[in-house]
Structure formats: C-alpha cells, structure tokens
Amino acid sequence: MQILLVEDDRPLAQGIKTSLAHEGFTVNHLTHGEQAINSLKIEAADMVILDLGLPDIDGNEVLKRVRKFNAELPILLLTARATLNDKVKGLDAGADDYLAKPFEMAELLARLRVFERRLSSTKHADLTIGDVSLDLVNLQVTVADKTLELSRREYMLLKALMENAGRIQTRDSLESKLYSWGEEVASNTIEVHIHHLRKKLPKEFIRTVRGVGYTIKVK
Ligand code: CA
C-alpha cells in the first residue's frame, strides 16, 4: 500500500512515517497542498493522509480539488480543529475519515487498515495465474492450495507483477511500488526479492526480460 502523507509538522510526519513503515506501508511525504495535488495527478497513491492546516492552501481545498479528478481515493483528514463543524465540513468535502490531533498511532493504523480492507474488497477478491493465487483480502499467496510464507515486500512485488501480467515491469517501476521516495534502496534490491520469490514459486513463473525488468506470462 502506497500512502501519501501531507503534513507540514515535520516531527509528527516523521513519527507517522516510522510507524507506518514498520507496518509495511510505503509512505511518501509532502508538506504543501499544491505539491500534493500535483503529485496525485502524476502518480496515484492508494490512500492519502491529509492535514487540514497546511502552509499554502487549506486541506479542505486540497480535498475538493483532488476529488475533481479522483473520486475513489481514500482520504483521511488529520486536524487540530476537532470541532463538530469542521468534521462535518471535511466529510462533506469528500473525506472518508477524520482523525483529531493529538491521536494515538495505533488508532491511525486501525483506520488505515479499514481503508485497506475496503480497497481489497472492492477489487477482485483474488487474482489467479496458473497455480498461483493471490488473496487480496487476506494478503495471502497460495500455490496449488499451499499457502506461502512471504514478506510484505515479496507480496507487494508479486502483486505488482501479477496485476500487470503480460506486461513487462521495469526495475524502476517495481522499486517505486515497494519503496518510499528518498528511501535508501540498494541497486540490486529488486533482484534479491525476485530471487527469494522464485524459490517459493513454480519454475519460470517470473520471467526475466534481460536488461529491462520482469514479467509474468498470462496462461
Ligand atoms: Ca499543520
């Protein structure tokens, strides 16, 4: 899951990033509303955590403008203005949920897991290619009905490949799905994950496209 965090309070943002990364979420962080809108036009996130009090434009304005081009994106508002009026205004403007500062990290995580479940259940419940099935609700992978033990990143990598089966995925595009902006990533990290995945998957399931990336053939 890729989360865009829009929050100008850097210590708070750092705390959120650390907690979410620990849970396996990929977090990209921006401090300004205009940046967030531009970024979402170019690269979609799976969910957005949006602070209301931003240095340039108000979070509610960001919300309204994002809703014009993306009606589905789950957006959680963060705010110090915990009055009922603000809450109603935010929800009216198209927010999916609302969390008043200060909040416990555990609560933020719980809300995001609700988003994650909702996202999974609105998509296909599972994705099967050959003997390999990806259960998008329980985040599990089975090969001929046997459940595999995968790390969160191995799962995300396999999901990215299976969702785009028949198309070649470059190392760069896979890397951007697995890691946050600015996160230190070793140059061979995708190769290493692929190597581990291949040991668990049927032979030839993931194919190397030399010098470009990887692909999964549609049967
Ligand atoms: Ca703020």
What is the tens place of the pLDDT at every residue in 67-81? 999 888 999 999 886
- Ligand 1 centre from 109 Cα, in Å? 20
| CATH number given to 2-120 | 3.40.50.2300
Cα 116 to ligand 1 centroid, rounded to whole Å = 25
Transcribe the chain into DSSP letters: -EEEEE-S-HHHHHHHHHHHHHTT-EEEEE--HHHHHHHHHHS--SEEEEESS-SSS-HHHHHHHHHHH-SS--EEEEES---HHHHHHHHHTT-SEEEESS--HHHHHHHHHHHHHHHHHHS-SEEEETTEEEETTTTEEEETTEEP---HHHHHHHHHHHHTTTS-EEHHHHHHHHS-TT----TTHHHHHHHHHHHHS-TTSEEEETTTEEEE---
pLDDT at 125 over 80: no
Ligand 1 center from residue 30 Cα (angstroms): 12
- Judge whether residue 116 has pLDDT over 90: no
pLDDT of residue 165: 86
Kindly give the distance from the C-alpha atom of residue 79 to the centroid of ligand 1, in angstroms, as a whole number: 7
Domain borders along the chain are 2-120, 126-215
pLDDT over 80 at 141, yes or no: yes
- pLDDT higher than threshold 70 for residue 190: yes
pLDDT confidence bin for 187, thresholds 50/70/90: confident
- Ligand 1 centroid–CA 9 distance in Å is 6
12 CA distance to ligand 1 middle (Å)? 10
**What is the per-residue pLDDT across 88-99, written as a single tens digit (0 to 9) for each?**
777 888 898 889
Which CATH code for domain 126-215? 1.10.10.10
CA 14 / ligand 1 centre spacing (Å): 13
Res 123 pLDDT > 80: no
Average confidence (pLDDT) over 154-178 = 89
How many Å lie between the centroid of ligand 1 and the Cα of residue 71? Answer: 24
Please indicate whether residue 167 or residue 206 has the higher confidence score (pLDDT): 206
pLDDT at 52: 92
| pLDDT value for 124 | 60
pLDDT band at residue 119 using 50, 70 and 90 as cut-offs: confident
Separation of 210 CA from ligand 1 center, angstroms? 46
Percent of the chain with pLDDT over 90: 51
- pLDDT exceeds 80 at position 162: yes
Averaged confidence pLDDT in the chain: 89
